[in-house]
């Protein structure tokens, strides 16, 4: 049989609307093959009058209970599909067959069971969302440098964070609309007027939203896989970074091109990392390290708070294996209000090995981390120049 696909125009909990839509299509020769919240499958046949009814019944992967299907079959109603594993769709083309439900009290109790389950699952989803948000807040604010963590957030983790936050929020809205619409079904069966509430999108809207969200995330993931060069070194054009040779010898080093890695984070989609190493970290030979992180923030009001957070985070010496210390380090810090930046501060370790500087100007921030014998204080002008 030839199959036809139709977008589902009504919510699965708009019981009468869904039944009338299926009956209208049957009159056009389209008969339900498989129900889906977004797109239903139909088979073509000779048009005829067919009645459709949705009956409440929660079931597992094995399908509705056989005794229920056999009972309905005896009265002329054939099982043609299910909805969300909690409603069964029956059809009947015999105009003389009785309605499947003759006892409204029993039917009402079955719908009430679904409504109670929907409210329970909504409350569980609220608890899950709160746990996820509290966990994210704990990770973000642990250590007191939330802006630094957001700026240096690893892009690979962003997709998991989006999934862990956006999808539960979507499911929360789905469960809320499910509980609302089931309550409306019950009120209608009881003969009570519909409650007047502020408008809220139907479950159908959030089903589409979930599909769009999934496709968007999948598309971005495929884009990253197809463009592995996103994390490769590229010529830096926005600023001129310091060099190890310049810091160690005091002599300027002229290069035609500086290479760095373009990065991005949830609050800063334009940033660079320029890294220089000389020596091996755990060998007895001298080890020198220089890292420049440059950020172009979306709003200037974030620059100075972000710079303060970056300095505090940098002084912890726990960012990565290249910038750490086996023993606690004592720091001395000094701010330079007249250096030409909105805020600039330099921190040096007591033994003179570790140095870090952060500057902010308008909507740009630069972080320099250096292990060596030189001094960042001698290059404040160059640090400020990276922001202009």
Confidence of residue 358 (pLDDT cuts 50, 70, 90): very high
Residue 170: is its pLDDT beyond 80?
Answer: no
From the list 290, 293, 291, the residue with the least C-alpha distance to 270 is 293
295 shares a domain with 375: yes
196 lies in some domain: yes
pLDDT at 301 exceeding the cut of 70: yes
Asked if residue 97 belongs to a domain, the reply is no
In this structure, are residues 168 and 213 in contact, taking their beta carbons and an 8 Å threshold? no
- Consecutive H or E run containing 218: helix 203-226
Joined together, the tokens standing for residue 295 give 């950020």
Q: Is 134 helix (H, G, I), strand (E, B) or coil?
A: helix
377 inside domain: yes
Same domain, 74 and 150: no
Residues 113 and 128 in one domain: yes
- Position with higher pLDDT, 257 vs 1: 257
Average pLDDT of span 250-273: 83
pLDDT at 200: 47
State the pLDDT at residue 201. Answer: 54
Of 27 and 102, more confident: 27
Domain shared by 379 and 236, yes or no? yes
The verdict on 294 and 353 lying in the same domain is yes
The answer on pLDDT for 198 being more than 50 is no
227-238 b/e (C-beta count within 10 Å ≥ 16 → b): eeeeeeeeebee
Are both 174 and 216 inside the same structural domain? yes
Q: Mean pLDDT across the stretch 2-25? A: 87
What pLDDT is recorded for position 220?
66
Domain limits for position 272? 231-385
Average pLDDT, the chain: 83
The answer to whether residue 250 sits within a structural domain is yes
Give 114-152 pLDDT, tens digit per residue.
888 888 888 888 888 888 778 777 777 776 678 887 787
pLDDT in tens, 181-192: 888 888 877 777
Indicate which CATH number applies to the domain containing 369.
Answer: 3.40.1000
Verify that 182 and 278 share a domain, yes or no. Answer: no
Measuring CA to CA, how many Å separate 179 from each of 55, 107, 209, 288, 313? 17, 17, 18, 62, 45
Residues 376 and 352: beta-carbon distance below 8 Å:
no
Residue 98 lies in a domain: no
Please say if the pLDDT value at position 356 is more than 90: yes
How many Å separate Cα 19 from the centre of its chain?
35
pLDDT of residue 195: 59
**Together in a domain, 257 and 172:** no
Lowest average pLDDT, out of 48-57, 259-268, 289-298, 301-310, goes to 259-268
Whether the per-residue pLDDT at 277 is higher than 60: the answer is: yes
Q: Tell me whether residue 120 is in a domain.
A: yes
Helix and strand numbers (H, E) in the chain are 9, 16
Do 130 and 220 fall within a single domain?
Answer: yes
217 and 235 both lie in a single domain: no
Q: How far is the C-alpha of 174 from the C-alpha of 218, rounded, in Å?
A: 21
Domain count, the chain: 3
Query: Are both 31 and 144 inside the same structural domain?
Result: no
**362: helix, strand or coil:** coil
Please list, in sequence order, all residues whose beta carbon lies within 8 angstroms of the beta carbon of residue 299, skipping any fewer than 6 positions away: 363
> For 113, which DSSP code?
H
pLDDT tens-digit readout, 305-345:
999 999 998 898 876 778 888 788 899 999 999 999 999 99
Q: Which residue has the tokens 């502020």?
A: 198
Give the span between the Cα atoms of 295 and 258, in whole angstroms. Answer: 17
Name the domain boundary from 204, 226, 248: 226
Res 23: pLDDT? 92
Higher pLDDT, 171 or 223: 171
pLDDT digits (tens, 9 = 90+) for 207-232: 666 677 677 767 766 766 665 555 67
Is 99 part of a structural domain of the chain?
no
pLDDT at 361 over 70: yes
In-domain check, residue 272? yes
**Last-in-domain residue among 173, 195, 226:** 226
Residues 312 and 330 in one domain: yes
Task: Report pLDDT for 345.
Answer: 95
Q: What pLDDT does 52 receive?
A: 93
Does 58 have pLDDT greater than 70? yes
Q: Which of 72, 92, 112 is the last residue of a domain?
A: 92
């Amino acid at each position: 049989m030839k199959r036809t696909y139709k977008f589902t125009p009504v919510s699965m909990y708009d019981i009468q609307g869904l039944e009338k839509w299926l009956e209208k299509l049957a009159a056009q020769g389209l008969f339900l093959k498989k129900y889906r919240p977004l797109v239903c499958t139909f088979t073509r046949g000779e048009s005829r009058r067919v009645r459709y009814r949705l009956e409440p019944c929660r079931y597992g992967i094995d399908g509705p209970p056989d005794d229920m299907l056999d009972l309905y079959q005896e009265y002329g109603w054939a099982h043609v599909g299910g909805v969300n594993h909690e409603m069964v769709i029956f059809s009947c083309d015999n105009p003389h067959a009785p309605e499947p439900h003759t006892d409204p009290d029993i039917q009402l109790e079955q719908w009430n069971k679904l409504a109670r389950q929907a409210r329970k699952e909504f409350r569980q989803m609220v608890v899950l969302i709160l746990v996820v948000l509290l966990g994210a807040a704990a990770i973000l604010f642990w250590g007191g440098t939330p802006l630094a963590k957001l700026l240096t957030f690893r892009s690979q983790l962003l997709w998991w964070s989006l999934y862990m936050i956006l999808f539960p929020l979507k499911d929360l809205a789905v469960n809320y609309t499910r509980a609302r619409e089931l309550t409306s079904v019950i009120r209608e069966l009881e003969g009570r007027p519909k409650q007047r509430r502020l408008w809220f999108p139907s479950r159908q809207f959030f089903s589409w939203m979930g599909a769009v969200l999934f496709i968007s995330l999948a598309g971005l993931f495929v884009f990253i896989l197809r463009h592995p060069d996103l994390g490769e070194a590229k010529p830096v054009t926005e600023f001129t970074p310091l060099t190890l040779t310049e810091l160690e010898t005091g002599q300027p080093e002229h290069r035609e091109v500086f290479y760095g890695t373009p990065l991005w984070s949830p609050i800063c989609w334009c940033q660079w990392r320029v890294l220089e190493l000389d020596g091996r970290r755990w060998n007895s030979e001298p080890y020198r390290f220089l890292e420049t992180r440059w950020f172009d923030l979306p709003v200037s009001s974030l620059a100075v708070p972000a710079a303060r957070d970056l300095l505090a985070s940098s002084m912890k010496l726990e960012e990565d294996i290249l910038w750490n210390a086996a023993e606690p380090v004592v720091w001395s810090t000094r701010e330079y209000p007249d250096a030409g930046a909105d805020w600039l501060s330099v921190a040096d370790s007591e033994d003179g090995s570790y140095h870090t500087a952060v500057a902010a100007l308008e909507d740009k921030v630069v972080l320099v981390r250096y292990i060596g014998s030189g001094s960042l204080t001698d290059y404040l002008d160059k640090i400020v120049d990276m922001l202009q």
